[in-house]
């Protein structure tokens, strides 16, 4: 009787191990990579040049004048002064006519609206933000149709300039076309980390939903697999003693 039960447990455990074992292996492999890598390096902190201080010399317009020039009315969400290619600029975020948030830039010295960042300006901004002295390998403008849920720049403001560098890290700097701010730096190790993190959380869309049903099912299967292994050990141990 004990032998029959042990056989059933063994078949049950073997079947579960085939299903859950692959995910367990991926979890362990991902965990090893996470624990043996420097998160600051993954984020590209070692490739980022320090941000220059704001140059507030000369006569600057006040925020009330900037708001008047922007013409946002009462829909303003945020106002901040930022640096764009060495110039102080008011960044004004407001509720646009469509859903979502729009951004306008007002030059703090001239008091005029600043147009969207051009390709040449994006290259210069990215070059100043990237520490290694290497040439720009390419630059292109990304819009909503170019950035899906699996893109390395997902979730950021669009449109954005993607500036690639001829560097062994495969680094790309993302510069917002609206306000000229560096929004992200992505390198090869970040892409590996992102892929393994996706396999870790089993969230194939946004990567960060740790309550998704696929992860819950995999976790239950893994728990049952381990538990059934201990049960099988206990049953076979009693059988050997008997």
In percent, the amount of the chain with pLDDT more than 70 equals 87
Integer Cα distance of 150 and 148 in angstroms:
5
184 three-class SS:
strand
Check if the beta carbon of residue 234 is closer than 8 Å to that of residue 227: no
Q: What is the pLDDT of residues 48-105, one digit of tens each?
A: 999 888 889 899 999 999 999 988 777 888 999 999 999 999 999 988 666 566 899 9
Token pair in block for residue 105: 């830039």
Q: Determine the 3-state secondary structure of 94 from DSSP.
A: strand
What ranges make up the beta strands (E) of the chain?
76-84, 87-95, 101-107, 113-114, 136-142, 160-165, 172-176, 182-186
- Nearest Cα residue to 186 out of 154, 144, 149: 154
* pTM as predicted: 0.83
Q: Report the C-alpha gap between 7 and 2 in whole angstroms.
A: 9
Taking the CA atoms of 208, 210, 211 and 216 in sequence, report the sign of the dihedral they define: positive
pLDDT tens figures, 170-228: 999 999 999 999 999 999 999 999 999 998 988 887 787 888 888 888 888 888 777 77
| Tokens 């699996």 found at | 150
What is the chain's Cα-based Rg?
27
């Amino acid at each position: 009787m004990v032998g029959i039960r042990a056989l059933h447990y063994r078949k049950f455990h073997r079947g579960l191990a085939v299903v859950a074992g692959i995910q367990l292996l991926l979890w362990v492999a991902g965990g090893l990579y996470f624990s043996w890598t420097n998160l600051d390096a993954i984020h590209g902190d070692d490739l980022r040049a320090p941000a220059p201080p704001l140059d507030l010399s000369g006569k600057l317009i006040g925020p009330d004048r900037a708001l008047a020039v922007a013409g946002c009315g009462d829909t303003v969400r945020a106002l901040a002064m930022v640096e764009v290619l060495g110039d102080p600029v008011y960044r004004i975020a407001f509720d646009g006519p469509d859903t979502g948030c729009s951004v306008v830039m007002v030059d703090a010295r001239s008091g005029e609206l600043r147009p969207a960042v051009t390709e040449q300006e994006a290259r210069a901004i990215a070059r100043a933000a990237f520490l290694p002295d290497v040439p720009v390998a390419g630059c292109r403008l990304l819009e909503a149709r170019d950035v899906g849920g699996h893109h390395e720049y997902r979730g950021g403001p669009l449109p954005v300039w993607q500036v690639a560098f001829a560097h062994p890290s495969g680094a790309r700097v993302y510069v917002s076309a609206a306000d000229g701010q560096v929004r992200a730096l992505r390198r090869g190790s970040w892409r590996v980390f992102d892929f393994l993190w996706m396999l870790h959380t089993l969230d194939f869309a946004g990567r960060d939903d740790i309550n998704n049903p696929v992860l819950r099912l995999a976790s239950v299967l893994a728990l049952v697999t381990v538990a059934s292994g201990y049960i099988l050990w206990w049953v076979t141990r009693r059988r050997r003693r008997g």
